[in-house]
Structure 1
Amino acid sequence: MSITRRTVFLIAAAIFVLAFCPGLSLAEVGVTKDEIKIGGILDQSGPIAFMGKAVSDGSKMYFQYINDKGGVHGRKINYIVEDDGYQPPRAVQAVKKLTSRDQVFCIFSVLGSAQCNAMYPILESQGIPLVLPATQNQDMGVPPRKYLFLGDPTYTLQGKIALEYIVEDKGIKSPKVACIFQDDTPGHDWRNGVRIGARHYGLDVLELPFKRGSVDFGSQMAKCKDEGVTHVLAWALVREPGIMMKEAQRLNYKPTWIWAAPSLSKKVLELAGDALDFNSDIYGTSIWSDAARDKTPSLQLVQDCIDKYGWGNYDEPLFLYGFQSAMTLVEGLNRAGKDLTREGLIKAFETFDNYDNGILAPITWGPNKRAGGDSVKMFEVKDGEWHAMQQGWRFTTIKD
């Protein structure tokens, strides 16, 4: 087959461009000389829209701050948020739109593990990272998947530390423990952590699941009282804790409570009403700092941005959560360097060794580690507010 003069010319021109004009070389999808497209998928209109909007607003504020400073290596961040209504099928449609039509560089801060699992095969097939899903489910990081980076301490870890705290920190060697949990993946992760802790200490656990959306916990509370349970370790969201504590008050039953991270909000305490005074021993496993009392540069930056831009809610933990997630993504983008690629971002994240953004628990990732958070802070309720009980982060000594 003969080679035409035109073909020779085109090959020579291509070699010249690649050798002497690196700035004109092929760029990664979603990356131009002045922009990085980032896709987010969070509930904006469904049952937990209040959570999705708070998280995405926090991220938007930090990206605005970074863009105002000139971006990341001179590139502004274009954050495109899609609404999935907290429905996995809609999340799949959203990721198809973001990757094919919008051609984003990566997917960031998806709310919900079912959504992440549903979309992951699509992302894996295209080599697109799924960064910092807004969930604490164990299977997001264990076993590790190349393109998925979980930052949050898992519910399994939280369940272990909750029981460890009772035995080691409080010195109660033979507590009578009940585990109340929503009968789904996050609830099961918490239950599994409590089981691991109970097995380590040779304790029995009364397991009491409930269905998502439950508003009647009379049977669970009556069972706990009848069995002489001294410590209730519970995974729930925002509405259920107040109902449980009110039911315990009605039964004149006063256990010690330890709640998983999703229940550590002001709204939970407000909904509990006067049951908060009756249930005096209330604790929780927090994945973030005590924003009201910890003084870190990152928390000060949140307040400075709120003052500057005139919007945002410092008192909303999920807003802070979204802000810090964006901080961690930007840290990875900075480490990946000016010649940004998806593989480069993966390698950059794998250098994170106890990375502390000043809000979330420190993150460690590596080639064979994708569950980044290994610690929590224990909180307690004092004077009607959540307070951190320690300055640093609490790790577990219990092996799986």
Structure 2
Amino acid sequence: MKTRTGSRAAAAIVAALALSITACSTKNDDDKPSTSGAGSDGVVTGQGVTDKEIHIGGLTDLTGPYGILGKSTTNGQKLYFDKLNEQGGVCGRTVVVDVKDHGYDVQKATTAYNELSGKVVAFSQLIGSAIVNQLAPEIEKAGLLTTPQAWASNLLGRQAIQVTSSTYDIQMVNGVHHLVETLGLKPGDKIGHIFTEDEFGENSSAGAKYAAQAAGIEVVDQKVKPTDRDMTAAVTALKSAGVKAILVGASPTQLGPIMGVSETTDFKVPVLTHTVGFHQSMLGTAAGPAMEARLEIVSAVPSPQSDLPMLQQMSADFQAKFPGEAPDLGVLAGYTSAAIVTEAIKKACEMKDLTPAGIVKAHRTNSQVDLGYGSPLDFSSPAKPPSYATYMLKIDKTKPSGVVTVGDAFEAPNARSFPLPKTG
């Protein structure tokens, strides 16, 4: 049986996000970030904060392999912070966000981080597990609250870096449990796993192996490089091995070929991926029909078009602000990260300390943050993900995001016993 977390907390959700949107005005170029001291309201401030503004940074991928995610995430955060500022800001201050594109290049990301790190009080966006790991020592040293758009569990264990939901390994523990139940997999059966040789893929693999071992089934691995586009060899190997399903821990540009090759070779087995491995634009490609028929997505959040009032409002606001753009899973990820950072700043304001250290300290007191996705988030322990719950999504081309939620959020019975890596 699945241990399920009900998603009827909709009313509490709306209230929570509504409360987090309390705030600002417009940017004044003469209003330079202060270095230290108390503001006119008695709140102690440091870098990135003045009496009028709070400066936040974003390091994203707009031109690399996760460019689709980067654009959606950036737009989701713009939607959130613009609405926040329209309603008065936070702690009586306007939030000013400076976003830089690193193109999923570690050196470019390092340069961009160095340009921003002394000018901002937090980072509400940082795409790429490898990039987060590279910058983690500097982020921790500076004590800048950072919410990465990366969910590898080796990012846990750091005071300033906050993974925003269940990690890739926990997601795959839940996902494999779901496949075992729905497909009736039995001991001795095989499932395949195509994953990238990076933190994302390896983390996804760790969760898959743990769940498969518990169920007595075998995982047949196929590692690929993040830059690989031809998936023929990987899919062919899995077909030869006789797997009954394929797990994917790779990018959207790799999922499409995986689905396409499996379809053209008449290897029509179920496929399961993470949210970062899918984008609805792929439904217009040759692989679209195969995705519609065989793809499931294990996700920390429901479809943006779910019937929860907060998500309905977010989708409507997004389409009004970005006509022609879809409020997809990346938009929701960005919106969520913006809300998490805002909740930390609100608590820091109550504690009269808007320094970077004050914001991190305040964030770690937030143990019951309900953003509307069925279960509260607990940020009190850096060593654990804030949630172990996930949703299952299926393709629905009639939805702007291309996906629909199937059932409530759930945890596999062994999700919390998964041995998270020692980090920090």
Query: Structure 2 length normalisation: TM-score?
Result: 0.80
Alignment partner of 1:135 out of 127, 150, 167: 150
> Is the counterpart of residue 315 in structure 1 residue 353 in structure 2?
no
What is the distance in 2 between the residues matched to 1:247 and 1:173?
Answer: 26
Give, in angstroms, the shift of residue 53 of structure 1. Answer: 2.4
Name the residue aligned to 1:387: 404
Q: Where in structure 2 are there 5+ consecutive unaligned residues?
A: 1-36, 419-424
Count the aligned residue pairs. Answer: 374
Alignment partner of 2:255 out of 232, 241, 253: 241
Alignment of 1:245-284 (within 5 A): 245-273=259-287, 275-276=289-290, 280-284=293-297
What is the distance in 1 between the residues matched to 2:62 and 2:206?
Answer: 31
RMSD across aligned positions (CA): 2.7
Of structures 1 and 2, the one with the larger relative CO (CA 8 A, separation 6+) is 2
**Aligned to 1:372, what secondary structure does the other structure show?**
coil
> Is the counterpart of residue 291 in structure 1 residue 316 in structure 2?
no
**Aligned to 2:162, what secondary structure does the other structure show?**
strand
Name the residue aligned to 1:378: 392
Give, in angstroms, the shift of residue 325 of structure 1. Answer: 1.6
> Is the counterpart of residue 328 in structure 1 residue 343 in structure 2?
no
Query: Structure 1 length normalisation: TM-score?
Result: 0.84
**Aligned to 1:152, what secondary structure does the other structure show?**
coil
Name the residue aligned to 1:44: 62
2:195–2:201 contact (8 Å) kept in structure 1 = yes
Name the residue aligned to 1:12: none
> Is the counterpart of residue 93 in structure 1 residue 111 in structure 2?
yes
1:313–1:319 contact (8 Å) kept in structure 2 = no
Q: 1:119 to 1:221 in 2, by over 3 A?
A: closer
What is the distance in 2 between the residues matched to 1:373 and 1:35?
Answer: 32
> Is the counterpart of residue 79 in structure 1 residue 97 in structure 2?
yes
> Is the counterpart of residue 105 in structure 1 residue 118 in structure 2?
no
2:297–2:394 contact (8 Å) kept in structure 1 = yes
Alignment of 1:1-400 (within 5 A): 23=41, 27-100=45-118, 103-129=119-145, 131-141=146-156, 144-174=157-187, 175-273=189-287, 275-276=289-290, 280-292=293-305, 294-306=306-318, 309=321, 311=323, 313-338=325-350, 339=352, 340-358=354-372, 362-369=376-383, 371-381=385-395, 385-390=402-407, 392-398=408-414, 399-400=417-418
Name the residue aligned to 2:16: none
Question: Deviations for 1:82-118, whole angstroms, at most 9, x for unmatched residues?
Answer: 2222211221222221123xx2112221111222222
Q: Greater Rg, structure 1 or structure 2?
A: 1
What is the distance in 2 between the residues matched to 1:382 and 1:306?
Answer: 19
Aligned identity (percent) is 24
Q: 1:179 to 1:92 in 2, by over 3 A?
A: same
2:195–2:248 contact (8 Å) kept in structure 1 = yes
Q: Where in structure 1 are there 5+ consecutive unaligned residues?
A: 1-17
What is the distance in 2 between the residues matched to 1:274 and 1:56?
Answer: 25
